[in-house]
Amino acid sequence: MKILLTAFEPFAGSPVNSAQRSVELVPDTINGAEVVKVLLPTEFKRSTEAIHKAITEHRPDVVLCIGQAGGRMEIDLERVAINIDDGRIPDNAGFQPQEEKIFADGPAAYFTTLPIKEMTKEICAAGFPAIVSDSAGTYVCNHVMYVLLYYLAKEFPQTIGGFMHVPALPEQVIGKMPPAPSMSKESIASAITVALKVII
Ligand code: PCA
């Protein structure tokens, strides 16, 4: 089995991205499954090509995309991606779409094809707080989840995929007022590994 595990480049002026730092710590082989890691640009347009290229190149059985969600205090297994780009801030290319459809010929939404309830349960059982989330936002993370599920539905129907949001790292929130939640990269990496074991 081959798993494509993606993370994002730092964005919004932060020198690091918690998803990137955590994915680096996930083993390259889990229970015999190969884990291929790809870093995506935090850009609406280039991330679309990057995710398609990664799937075409690696032909994975499973795609799990990881993104940082500052302000969230737990691991979030995303249930749904919606067909809209609406940037609260510009992306890393300076592009800030407002209420734009991602694909004119796409449905309003796609549901994840990963077993998120079971993944959530096992992550919690391993000692890390996790929930099913019903919104991945309208920024680059929702965009990538939507684009991923669109391509899987249209071109790679054998592959399952979905999205996980993770909290910021402690170093990203130190001194913040009001205080903001965080989780260590080791804990996030362990939670991702547990989630992948459920899928495998
Ligand atoms: N988080 C952003 C985009 C990149 C990332 O790591 C988001 O939640 O949309």
Domain edges within the chain: 2-199
The number of angstroms, rounded, from the C-alpha of 162 to the middle of its chain's C-alpha atoms is: 7
> Counting atoms of ligand 1 from 1, which one is nearest the CA of 67?
6
Greatest C-alpha distance within the chain: 46
49 is catalytic: no
pLDDT digits (tens, 9 = 90+) for 142-170: 999 999 999 999 999 999 999 999 999 99
Architecture in CATH of 2-199: 3-Layer(aba) Sandwich (3.40)
Coil/strand/helix, residue 115: coil
Query: Model-level pTM greater than 0.95?
Result: yes
Average pLDDT, the chain: 98
146 CB near ligand 1 (under 6 Å): no
Beta-carbon contacts of residue 2 (< 8 Å; ≥ 6 apart): 33, 34, 36, 58, 59, 60, 61, 62
pLDDT digits (tens, 9 = 90+) for 88-111: 999 999 999 999 999 999 999 999
pLDDT digits (tens, 9 = 90+) for 17-70: 999 999 999 999 999 999 999 999 999 999 999 999 999 999 999 999 999 999
